[in-house]
Amino acid sequence: MAILEDFRYARRALQAHARLAAGIAVILGAAIGANSAVFALVNAVLLAPLPFPGSSRLVTVNQTRVDSPSEPLSIPDYRDLRDRTRTFDAMAATFQWSANLTGGEAERVQGMKASASLFSLLGVPAALGRTLLPSDEQGGGNRVVDDERACR
């Protein structure tokens, strides 16, 4: 019986202060929505595993100098680390790259240079054609990428 009286009292209080109750409901709804959005973002960016097999075992190695912030390893440092370390099962290198594409109107192209072992390390097959071979890392070889007409 006391519960029914409590509900009646609450209904009368809400009716007397309807705008306040509506405002509180809107604020609570917005706060719950914002909390859900932030959690979804944090989960997707920080907590969800990478979409590669064994992604929990992947690490990034950078070098730090006294006079500069963290930066990627140089190619000779990568090769030394790859050849001498026994800590890692496999290693691959990636380097940010950009160039001007000519043959008409010039366009700046952003890309990445990668060692031949990158695709096998990540367990990612080629969507079209083949992945890189160790011989592709040697300078002066044949070009292995053609224009998009060759991909059709």
Domain ranges of the chain: 2-47, 55-136
Question: For 69-127, how does the pLDDT look when each residue is reduced to its tens digit (9 = 90+)?
Answer: 777 777 888 888 888 988 888 888 888 888 888 878 888 989 888 888 888 888 888 88
Q: What pLDDT does residue 141 have?
A: 65
Ranges of beta strands (E only) in the chain are 62-65, 68-72, 94-101, 107-114
Q: What pLDDT does residue 146 have?
A: 52
pLDDT beyond 90 at 63:
no
Q: Pairing state of beta strands 68-72 and 62-65?
A: antiparallel
Who's near 108: CB < 8 A, 6+ residues apart?
98, 99, 100, 101
- Average pLDDT over every residue of 26-50: 92
User: What is Dmax (Cα atoms) for the chain?
Assistant: 90
